[in-house]
Structure 1
Amino acid sequence: MYEYDLIVVGAGPYGRSIAAHATAAGLRLRLLGRRTRRAADGRTVTAVRPYGRDGFEVVTEDGESLRTRTVVLALGPARFTELPSDAGEFRRVAAHRDRFRAAHPALFRRLPTVVRLLLTDHENTGTDRVTLLSMPVRRRLSRTPDAPPWVDTRFESAHPGLFFAGLLTAAFFGPAIRSAHGAEFTARRVLRGVHRRLGRRQR
């Protein structure tokens, strides 16, 4: 029924890191995204929607339908908003504004929600911008459309089996997630969540 255990949408540093961990764990994986290396499928994903009892259908720009148990959306800032011309400097300043928050995303996640939101700069990354998801799914992700999608400690959203990585999760894990610095931390946590969703023990 499902061709894949995991499809990762986005071939930037977060997507590639998650894909590497999933491959090492022996999962049936597909990596899709424009910023590709040879291991990635360069097609754009146009839709991600629920399929079956607990899976997803991922549709590519040429109409191919892929079925998977879990999905990670590792979408970069280009999908949501324009960055300043010196985007590299922008990311460096954001990541180093507070060394504690940047170095300890797990501790940042434990702060009360109100405190985390006050400490995080919003960059127009609300769930209403994730247009490849159907509207019913988007409505489940956060209380308001302009807020980032809620994720648990394993980066799983309020929709079971749907995970987020990268910029969209900065409100929950802090400045480290604004740059490639947080990719390894994210990949390890996401893989734990995927294994739990698949009913497997992590190797």
Structure 2
Amino acid sequence: MYDLLVVGAGPYGLSIASHAVAAGLRVGVFGRPMASWRDHMPRGMFLKSEPWASNLSDPGRRWRLDAYCAERGMTVRHGEPIPVEVFAEYGLWFARNAGPEVDERMVTRVVRSPGGFEAVTDDGEVLSARTVALAVGVMPFVAIPTALTGLDASLVTHSSHHGDLDRFRGRDVTVVGGGQAALETAALLAEQGTRVRVLARAGGLRWNDVPPPWERPWWRSVRSPLGGLGCGWRNWFYAERPGLFRRLPEPTRARIAATALGPAGAWWVRDRVEPAVQVLLGHEVAAARAVPGGLRLDVTDGTGSLGTLETEHVVAATGFKPTADRLALLSADLRTALATGADGTPEVGRDFESPSHPGLFLAGLTTASGFGPAMRFVHGATYTANALVRGVHRRLRTGPALVPAPTRHGTSETARP
């Protein structure tokens, strides 16, 4: 039986496993390492976060991104974006060195059992664990606007569905969204010869500023400190104090998680978009239907006027919705009884443990309403790994929660193994 079974092998899952092994726990980590970065981001994309804010976390801080790059003769510099493929390779290097061997089988089901939990792998093996950490990344939470749902994948896809964009060469594509995923996808499409436009609901695009120099006068640093999520005291607080963020009132936390660091393009993609991509601001898709050769979109503009637009394919760069009902790998009883906030995301305690299911921990995007916007970025993995492993130790010391165990007569009784 594992002390801790980690479901997911992205930055959060790998970081949690590294800290757990160093703490002496018997750990299993399952999933394709760095899958989102390797399989769901086209070549040519870059990390939006600074290299120094993109480290996976191990207790000794030996396996940092800059160490990986130095080992391969590359230099990382503040203000210079890192290619996604380099970051994915860094994650694989971290997995080989900083934690237990990753089992690349997928976990398809997690259920309660006497003594903890059982997890079923995609080849049918049943594994037992006293505690479980769900670090499932973003892919279970893909969000596509209602007007575009129900259409065939040959016509509508999410931006995260593409490991490359070659299939769109020479075609006409409409990208829906106004954030980094939309703008960088559009830039890559234009650069390969695709006829592309961006349809954004907002009345204007937002662009992040070029970051200030790493070394600058002290008074400028005091006025606008540099943190893992950008400049300014507010961003510094989100990035560096997730534990204090959790003490804010729940409605405030949910509002900030939903609105802070909203859709914006990186400064280094702006010059690639503005000269090459048609951008329709204040526009929203009201309806869509298949027509010969593609789709016809009914589009409203800022005045409420309705028009039509024909395109061969729509890429919805419309983000992710990390609500509890999308955690399909949890058994129905676990999922329906999972404590949630008003926004539908799972509630977690100070150690990322579900208050409704002792021994079940959550990490990453699902915890942004609890611990803040940092949980939407790699930067949040360090705080999460430290706090979550402390919580696992605390749970293991107190013993498993009372769970119902079947009796010979088909009823149930409370059992503690």
Q: Same fold (TM over 0.5)?
A: yes
The 3 A distance-change label for structure 1 pair 131 and 145 is: farther
Residue of structure 2 equivalent to 1:71: 132
**3-state DSSP of counterpart to 2:258:** coil
Assess if the C-alpha contact under 8 Å between 2:131 and 2:359 holds in 1.
Answer: yes
Residue of structure 2 equivalent to 1:18: 16
User: In the aligned structure 1, how far is the partner of 2:368 from the partner of 2:183?
Assistant: 17
What's the offset of the Cα at 1:96? 3.9
User: Is 1:115 equivalent to 2:113 in the alignment?
Assistant: no
What's the offset of the Cα at 1:80? 1.4
Residue of structure 1 equivalent to 2:105: 43
What's the offset of the Cα at 1:103? 2.4
**3-state DSSP of counterpart to 2:346:** coil
User: Is 1:185 equivalent to 2:383 in the alignment?
Assistant: yes
Q: Name the larger-Rg structure.
A: 2
What's the offset of the Cα at 1:142? 2.6
User: Is 1:156 equivalent to 2:353 in the alignment?
Assistant: yes
User: In the aligned structure 1, how far is the partner of 2:18 from the partner of 2:254?
Assistant: 31
The 3 A distance-change label for structure 1 pair 159 and 57 is: same
User: In the aligned structure 2, how far is the partner of 1:56 from the partner of 1:89?
Assistant: 42
Structure 1 runs (4+) greater than 6 angstroms displaced: none
User: Is 1:173 equivalent to 2:310 in the alignment?
Assistant: no
The 3 A distance-change label for structure 1 pair 95 and 135 is: farther
**3-state DSSP of counterpart to 2:109:** strand
Residue of structure 2 equivalent to 1:34: 32
User: In the aligned structure 1, how far is the partner of 2:382 from the partner of 2:340?
Assistant: 29
Could you list the runs of 5+ residues in structure 2 that have no partner in the other structure? 35-94, 144-157, 161-179, 185-207, 209-227, 260-319, 399-417
User: Which is helix-richer, 1 or 2?
Assistant: 1
Per-residue Cα deviation, 1:139-182 (whole angstroms, up to 9, x for no partner): 22234796111100000002010000001001111111111101
Could you tell me which of 331, 339, 350 is aligned with 1:134?
Answer: 331
User: In the aligned structure 2, how far is the partner of 1:67 from the partner of 1:84?
Assistant: 36
Which shows bigger deviation, 124-133 or 37-46?
37-46
**3-state DSSP of counterpart to 2:127:** strand
The 3 A distance-change label for structure 1 pair 192 and 144 is: closer
Aligned residues: 195
Could you tell me which of 316, 322, 325 is aligned with 1:125?
Answer: 322
The 3 A distance-change label for structure 1 pair 145 and 176 is: closer
User: Which is strand-richer, 1 or 2?
Assistant: 2
Assess if the C-alpha contact under 8 Å between 2:4 and 2:131 holds in 1.
Answer: yes
The 3 A distance-change label for structure 1 pair 14 and 23 is: same
**3-state DSSP of counterpart to 2:102:** coil
Assess if the C-alpha contact under 8 Å between 1:124 and 1:146 holds in 2.
Answer: no
Could you tell me which of 41, 48, 57 is aligned with 2:118?
Answer: 57
User: In the aligned structure 1, how far is the partner of 2:105 from the partner of 2:323?
Assistant: 24
User: In the aligned structure 2, how far is the partner of 1:132 from the partner of 1:81?
Assistant: 15
**3-state DSSP of counterpart to 1:5:** strand
What amino acid sits opposite 1:59 in the alignment? V
Which shows bigger deviation, 125-134 or 96-105?
96-105
Could you list the runs of 5+ residues in structure 1 that have no partner in the other structure? none
TM-score by length of 1: 0.87
User: In the aligned structure 2, how far is the partner of 1:162 from the partner of 1:88?
Assistant: 34
What's the offset of the Cα at 1:101? 1.6
User: In the aligned structure 2, how far is the partner of 1:121 from the partner of 1:154?
Assistant: 22
What's the offset of the Cα at 1:107? 1.2
Point out which structure has higher relative CO (alpha carbons under 8 A, 6+ apart).
1
What's the offset of the Cα at 1:135? 1.6
Assess if the C-alpha contact under 8 Å between 2:256 and 2:373 holds in 1.
Answer: no
Per-residue Cα deviation, 1:46-99 (whole angstroms, up to 9, x for no partner): 0000011x4000000000000000000001111211665654989xx7944841
Report the aligned-residue RMSD.
2.5
Assess if the C-alpha contact under 8 Å between 1:125 and 1:146 holds in 2.
Answer: no
The 3 A distance-change label for structure 1 pair 197 and 177 is: same
Q: How do residues 2-17 of structure 1 correspond to structure 2 at under 5 angstroms? A: 3-17=1-15
